[in-house]
Structure formats: C-alpha cells, structure tokens
Structure 1
Amino acid sequence: MSLDIIGKTSFDFDFGALDNKDGVPLRLKFQNLFQDSVQPSKASMIHRTLKCYSPSIFRMFPSNENICHQDFMNETQKIARDIYARKNLVVGNEEKKGGRDILSVLARANNAEDSKKKLNDSEVLAQVATMVNAGQETISFSTTYLRYELSRHLEDQTRVFHEIRNVRDQIGQDTIPSSNDYDSMSYFNAVIKEALRLHTILADVQREAVNNDVIPLEFPVTTTAGETVNQIPVRKGQRIYMSLGASNQ
C-alpha cells in the first residue's frame, strides 16, 4: 500500500503493488531485504567486524547482506531512471511544467537556468531512489505500529473511530477528506504523534562536526569531580551520536 501511495503522490507513477502487477520486481525485493540484517549468521557478523578494519578488501568479497542491499539499490536506481524517462518533462511544455508531484518539481530544478538551483541528472535520480526506498519503508513501519498500538488500547481505538465517523457524517460518505478535515481530528492526530514518539523510525542518528564547536546544555550537569558543566566541547571530525528513541521516551 505504501509503495503505491509513494508512486502516485510523489511521481504520478503506478507501482501496481496492491494489484500484483507484473514488471515491478521492487515489491518482491522488499520482502527479504532485511532478513540477513535482522538475523545475521555468524559468518555475517565476522564479515561486518573485519570490514571495519579493512573496508577496501572486504568490499571485494561482499556478504549475502551486502549483495541483497546492493541488488535492491540497483533495482531502485533502475526504477528511478524509468520513472524519470516516462515523465518526459521538457522545458516549454506548460502542462508538464505545472505538475505538482515531487518529480515535476525535481525536473524543473533539473532544467533551472540558475546554476545555484540546478540539479543534475544523478542528483535527481538519487532523490527519486531515496524517496522510493526511505519513503515506502518508513510509512509502512509507522502505519504498522500505529495500528498495533490501537489494537492494544481499545478505548483510544473507539475514540478515534468515532472522531473519523463524525467527520464522515459532516462531509458525506462519498466525499474525499481534505487536509483540513484531517487536521480537524485532534485526537486522531495526537494518536499518530504518540505512535511516532513510542516507535521512532530511526533509533539514533550520527553527525560529524566540520569545525570545533560546543553543544550547549539546557540544564547544567555536575561532573563526578563536582564541576558544573553548561556546554560540551566538540572537536572537528568528532562524531556525535543522538539516541532519538531515548529522547522520545
């Protein structure tokens, strides 16, 4: 469902995942994409460890996990090229220039006269591939856990159901809800945000400092030496790990 939504809304493209259309192997590759990552073998764990010390050598001998991910990325890149080619956006075609889907916006950036705003072909394809990959997986993850939490909290589920039904009664059963209709359901929105808080898509993120800097602390911390610290110094090249899951909870 998520793959079809991403295709329709972002690229005006039909993946046909729900209809099991032929010629779209990407949905099949999604099924086993993370199997070796979630349940790695001993050989895979050893490969991961040694690769940290000699990445160039072990890149020549990829593990099943690496092969699976690379195969998926190759397919994503192929689909990105196909989508972009089918769109066939050209400067001067007013109808296509006015498209509001993401690919139309990227295509206009690709044809921009201002060099600062211009995207080359590889950058456009990278954006498409990222949207297909990250967009589909994150929506699926969040939707799954949202429904899971509602199944565990029946009072909340009932309240959300009545809120949706009330909006349906107001606008009519055959009317497609607008963004304002969705925004009017305050409890439904609160439930969505709570599901995102409890089940963060990324457990943590990391960044590398490009310059010497400091991280200011909202609340001072007292060290074991009894010193009060208001900021943490960061050296250029130092990596900072932030736990989104811990912060959210």
Structure 2
Amino acid sequence: MFSAVLKAVAFYAFSWIVWKIRQRFFRKSALDNIPGPPAKSLWKGVLPQVFNDNAWTFQKEMAEKYGGVVNLTGLLGDVQLYVFDPIAMNHIVVKDTNTYEEATSIIAYDGLMSENVVWMWSSGSREQHRKQRKMLNPVFSIAHMRQMVPTFYNVADKLGDAIAKKVKAGPQEWIFSFDPLTEDGIPHPYTAAAKQVVPLTFKFLISRIYLLPILIKIGTPKLRRFFVNLAPWKDLRDLRDLVDVLHKTTADIIETKKAALAEGDKAVARQIGQGKDILSILLRANMSASKEGGLSEEELGGQISTLTFAAMDTTSSALSRTLWLLANHQDVQDRLRAEVQQARTQGDPAYDELVHLPYLDVVCRETLRLCVVALFILRNGADHHFSGYPPITVVARTTRQDSVLPLSNPIKGVDGNEMHEIIVPKDTDVFVSILSSNRNSNPEIWGPDSYEWKPERWLTSMPDAVVETRVPGVYSHLWVPAVEPFLSLSNLQQIEVVLSVLIASFKFSPSNKEVVWKMTGIVTPTTAGNKTPTPELPLVVELVA
C-alpha cells in the first residue's frame, strides 16, 4: 500500500507540473501584463523574496515601485497577485467573497495533521461562520463588554503585580511574553506550542501553497497522519507535535466547559469569565441548538481552537509592539501616563470611561495603523475602515471562478497601457497586503509621513482622501483584517485595559539588546541573533515615582 500511495503522489505531482508548465508558457493571461519584480528562480519564482521573515524592505520597495496590484511569479512561473489597491481589496474581502474564498493553503493543515479536529485557521465554510455568528451575537453587545472589563482588569493586575515584584529594587530588564502572569511560573504547554507554531509554519510556505492542496486529497486523515509520522522531515514532525498539543488543549477546554455547564451555575461561576466568556457562550448555544443549527464536534473543536489561538497570539503581538513603541517614544508614553493616571484616581476606569480616553484611543489607532492586530474591530457600533504594522501582513484568497477586479487607481501594464480593471482567472492565488495598505505612502491617502508612528495625526481632522478611501475594515479608517471577526471589540478592550494598568505604574525604556520583528505569519519580536522560534521582547522597566 505504501508503494501504491507513493506512486499516486508522484503521478499526481508530475501531472500537476506538466499542467502548470502548459498553462504558464503556452497560454496567455491578462495577468501577464501586470508588472512585478523579476523572478530569481524558475522553481520558486519571487516568493522567497516577498515572503521571508525579514521582507519588510522588499515589500515596501515593491509596493512603491509597482503600485496597488503586483504580479508575483511563483512556482514554475505560476502567476499570483499582491493587492493593496483599496477598491480591489474591498472587492476581494467584502463584495465578492463567493469568488475570492479562503486559500486552500490556509485551511489544509486539518487534513494533513489531524485525524479528526479542524485545526486553527480551518474555519473555512460559510455555513460554519453563519452558525457561529448566530451563536456569538450576544457576546458583542456593549452590555456584555461592560461585564467583561473587570475580568480583563483581573488579568492585567496579575501581570502588573508580577512586574512590580521584579523591579521593586530598581530598573530591571523584563523579557515580555505575557505569560505566565506570575514570576517564575511554568508556561502552559499550549502557550509554548502557540508561540512556536506560527514561525514554524512559515517554513512551509512553498509546500503550503503548492503541496498541501494535493496531499489532503489523498486517502483518509488517519492515513495522511500515518505518512506524516513516517516522514524523515524534522520540521514536519515538530509541527505535528505542536498541533497535537493544540488539539489536546482544545479537547480539554471543551470537556471542562461542558462539565461546568452540566453542573450548573455555581460551577460556571467558579471559572474565569464566570460563564460570560466567548467559549462558554459558544458551547451553551451549541448544546441548545437544533441538530441543523448546531456545529458538529469537529467544527466546534476547530472554532474553539481558532478563537483560543487568535485571541492569545494577536493580542500579545499587539501589546508587545505598543509597549516597544512607547519605550522608544518617551514623550508619547509620558502623555499617555498622565491621562490614564488621572482616569485611575478613583480606581479602575469602567468600560465607558476607558473607551473615551482620547489619547489612549489615538495611541491604539496609530499602532493599529502601523503595527498591530489582525482582527476586525467593531467599536461603538460603527463600521469603519482599516490599516496597520500588522501581525499578519497578508491574507490569502483563491479565485473559484473568473473575476473582473476593479481598481481605484489604474496601473501601467507591461505593454505601456493603463489598466483600470483586471481579469483574474479561476484558481489564481491572491495575497491581499495589509502591510502595504496600512502604510500606503500615496500622498492622496496617508501622505509622505505614512511610515512614521504619530498618534497626534488622529487629533486633527483626517484628510478627505483617508475618509473617502473605501478600504475594507472596521476601525477608524484602518484595515484590521481577521482570522475571526468575532475577536474584535474584546481584543481591543483587552489591549486598552492592559495598557492603562501598566503605563500608570511603570516606565518602559529600550534595553541594550536589538529587537528584531520577524515577518513570520504573525509578526513577532525577538532579539538579534536569537535562533529559536520563541518570541521575546526585552524592555527596561522601572516603577513610576
């Protein structure tokens, strides 16, 4: 059987290569007229230059040179698109989602790694999303957020207490990881796995795009897992082990939550969140839903894994980047501290007080624009737009049928003619660039200082072009796209709560270690020369007098 499977894989791969060569070199496409950076390799094209852990400069220069839609040459000349034109982005992620679906390369890990549970980003079907939205609608009311703020303060205070014990004798270097929230605590295995899985997954970029969609069509999940176990590929085995930890933790969470719900209100009240958290609400709603309206055990596991992972990693990434920026802009930090200290004179600010702190708000806006969270954010019930230094720099889509992609600004084709729209063939991979959109240096949008972190820009009237540019997203003219749109308001609230607690009590300064931001799926900090995939952010911390 092993030999037969290998032969089937080899035949499939050979047929695919022949088909790709024929499609690329013997058929003309409208995409051929779109300019882009020259490929360095026939095998990998330009993808290694665009997608590596230090591609900041390359992507910046590429965006500035070629404009809002760029031709990326992939495997064997395969043409892919890199898009940050506002109207094109809106078309892809809002208007024509039936055509531009989640890329197969993003949702394929389930079929390769796991025998039964949908893992992390595999939240793919619209039916799942529809059911989940219906179940979670109560979570995103302002009333519910008001109830959750004390829980956020409880966690933030634990972090503050741990830091205070460390620095009480004087300024100390603190390596921020945001867990565990006690000094000398032992990290939960899930935390360690979640920090390593994204950098490790990034190593599989080419195989994820081209190989995984093939492999998940072969045999059963159990059979595919059998071959993963046999593969003499250390990184693949390491990824398998990390996925197992995430899978086991997800299963444990589900069983613990179910047991508490079955015991009744007293058991639920003893848990963090007291039954008002997203996971408890999802489980309770699913248990009471009809068979047709509920999620299967596999779907439920996938959703909870997604919610747990995305909530932790993106929020910690956002907080890390914000603290690093504040450490390097002492004037901004001082002004923010004065505001939050004033707000905290009577204790922890309530929800309504916190969301109306003007300077905290603009610090978050500007950090979202240049740096932070990859989540749809809905604030005060208003839909807005999006931008950022995003932890997730691109979102991937694949066209399921031919499409006409409109543009806000024409691009100049290879033939010298202007293109006002693009015919995108079926099965084209499209990378929507959050990074380039958020830093768009077009003077008509953010202006020549678009690469600078300037919270004060939000204290004056925004340029008309920023207001009028229809970039898809939902937070104050910023695109903050999502792994899951549900994590929105909750995550922003967590960021604001933690910042208000920490900045009121501590002064943050840069350490003497060089911090490097790795562009590995979710952008993570580390120190120069660090060879491990584990993120770390060293800052000097001292108590405020």
TM-score normalised to structure 1 length: 0.74
Q: Which of residues 408, 429, 436 in structure 2 aligns to 1:239?
A: 429
Aligned residues: 227
Preserved contact between residue 77 and residue 129 of structure 1 (Cα < 8 Å): yes
Matched residue of 1:241: which SS? strand
Q: Which of residues 189, 212, 231 in structure 2 aligns to 1:61?
A: 231
Preserved contact between residue 201 and residue 239 of structure 2 (Cα < 8 Å): no
Note the C-alpha offset of 1:157: 0.8
**2: CA distance, partners of 1:224 / 1:35:** 36
- For 2:406, the equivalent position in structure 1 comes to 216
Q: Which of residues 167, 170, 183 in structure 1 aligns to 2:343?
A: 167
Q: Where do 1:49-88 residues align within 5 Å? A: 52=210, 56=215, 59=228, 60-61=230-231, 63-87=233-257, 88=259
Preserved contact between residue 410 and residue 420 of structure 2 (Cα < 8 Å): yes
Matched residue of 2:188: which SS? coil
Note the C-alpha offset of 1:153: 0.9
Is it true that 1:188 corresponds to 2:378 in the alignment? no
- For 2:310, the equivalent position in structure 1 comes to 134
Q: Which of residues 181, 186, 191 in structure 2 aligns to 1:18?
A: 181
Matched residue of 1:155: which SS? helix
Distance 1:62 1:205, change over 3 A: farther
Preserved contact between residue 394 and residue 432 of structure 2 (Cα < 8 Å): yes
**2: CA distance, partners of 1:91 / 1:79:** 20
Q: Deviations for 1:37-81, whole angstroms, at most 9, x for unmatched residues?
A: 78x7xxx99xx6699569759844153322222212211111111
**1: CA distance, partners of 2:415 / 2:196:** 51
User: 115-124 or 205-214: which moved more?
Assistant: 115-124
Note the C-alpha offset of 1:112: 3.8
Preserved contact between residue 194 and residue 246 of structure 2 (Cα < 8 Å): no
Is it true that 1:119 corresponds to 2:295 in the alignment? yes
Preserved contact between residue 180 and residue 187 of structure 2 (Cα < 8 Å): no
- Give the letter for the 1:17 counterpart: P
Distance 1:33 1:207, change over 3 A: closer
Distance 1:232 1:193, change over 3 A: same
Is it true that 1:144 corresponds to 2:320 in the alignment? yes
TM-score normalised to structure 2 length: 0.37
Higher relative contact order (CA 8 A, sep 6+): 2
Q: Which has the higher helix share?
A: 1
Distance 1:51 1:157, change over 3 A: closer
Q: Which of residues 258, 267, 276 in structure 2 aligns to 1:100?
A: 276
Distance 1:181 1:70, change over 3 A: farther
Distance 1:113 1:204, change over 3 A: closer
**1: CA distance, partners of 2:424 / 2:208:** 29
Distance 1:243 1:23, change over 3 A: closer
**2: CA distance, partners of 1:234 / 1:50:** 22
- Give the letter for the 1:248 counterpart: N
Q: Deviations for 1:174-202, whole angstroms, at most 9, x for unmatched residues?
A: x3322222211122122122222222111
- Give the letter for the 1:219 counterpart: N
**2: CA distance, partners of 1:214 / 1:113:** 40
Q: Deviations for 1:93-112, whole angstroms, at most 9, x for unmatched residues?
A: 5776x932111222133224
User: 57-66 or 148-157: which moved more?
Assistant: 57-66
- Give the letter for the 1:82 counterpart: D
- For 1:13, the equivalent position in structure 2 comes to none
- Give the letter for the 2:244 counterpart: N
- Give the letter for the 1:193 counterpart: R
Alignment gaps of 5+ in structure 1: 10-15
Distance 1:89 1:212, change over 3 A: farther
Distance 1:108 1:35, change over 3 A: closer
Distance 1:78 1:53, change over 3 A: closer
Matched residue of 1:240: which SS? strand
Distance 1:62 1:104, change over 3 A: farther
Distance 1:17 1:161, change over 3 A: same
Distance 1:50 1:93, change over 3 A: closer
- Give the letter for the 2:360 counterpart: F
**2: CA distance, partners of 1:117 / 1:240:** 32
Matched residue of 1:111: which SS? helix
Is it true that 1:229 corresponds to 2:229 in the alignment? no
Distance 1:82 1:230, change over 3 A: same
Is it true that 1:155 corresponds to 2:331 in the alignment? yes
Distance 1:200 1:215, change over 3 A: same
Alignment gaps of 5+ in structure 2: 1-147, 153-178, 216-223, 269-273, 371-388, 440-545
